[in-house]
Amino acid sequence: MRVDEQDWLRLVEKAHSLAFVDIEATGLRGDYNSVLCVSVKPHGLKPETFLVKQPGNDQGVVVAAKEALEACAGWVTYYGKGFDIPMLNTRLLRWHRDPIEKRPHIDLYYSLRYSLLMARRSQSHLLSWLGTPAQKMTVGAEEWNQVLANPSVGLKTMKARCESDVTGLEGLYERTKHLIRTIKN
For 141-176, how does the pLDDT look when each residue is reduced to its tens digit (9 = 90+)?
A: 999 988 989 998 899 999 999 999 999 999 999 999
Q: Domain range holding 160? A: 5-179
Q: Is residue 73 part of a domain?
A: yes
pLDDT digits (tens, 9 = 90+) for 33-42: 999 999 999 9
Q: Assess whether pLDDT exceeds 80 at residue 81.
A: yes
Q: Is residue 135 part of a domain?
A: yes
Between CA 38 and CA 48 the distance in angstroms is: 8
**Count: domains in the chain:** 1
Q: Is residue 83 part of a domain?
A: yes
Q: Is residue 185 part of a domain?
A: no
CB neighbours of residue 182 within 10 Å: 9
Paired sense of beta strands 48-51 and 35-42, if any: antiparallel
Q: Assess whether pLDDT exceeds 80 at residue 87.
A: yes
Query: What is the per-residue pLDDT for 2?
Result: 78
The sign of the CA dihedral 115, 116, 120, 122 is: negative
Q: Is residue 153 part of a domain?
A: yes
R_g of the chain, CA atoms, integer Å: 16
Question: CB within 8 A of 88, min separation 6: which ones?
Answer: 23, 35, 38, 62, 65, 66, 69, 100
Query: What is the per-residue pLDDT for 1?
Result: 67
Q: Is residue 184 part of a domain?
A: no
CA distances from 38 to 14, 29, 116, 125, 134 (A): 23, 16, 28, 22, 18
- What does the pLDDT average to over 100-125? 95
Between CA 14 and CA 11 the distance in angstroms is: 5
Q: Is residue 114 part of a domain?
A: yes
Q: Is residue 147 part of a domain?
A: yes
CATH of the domain at 68: 3.30.420.10
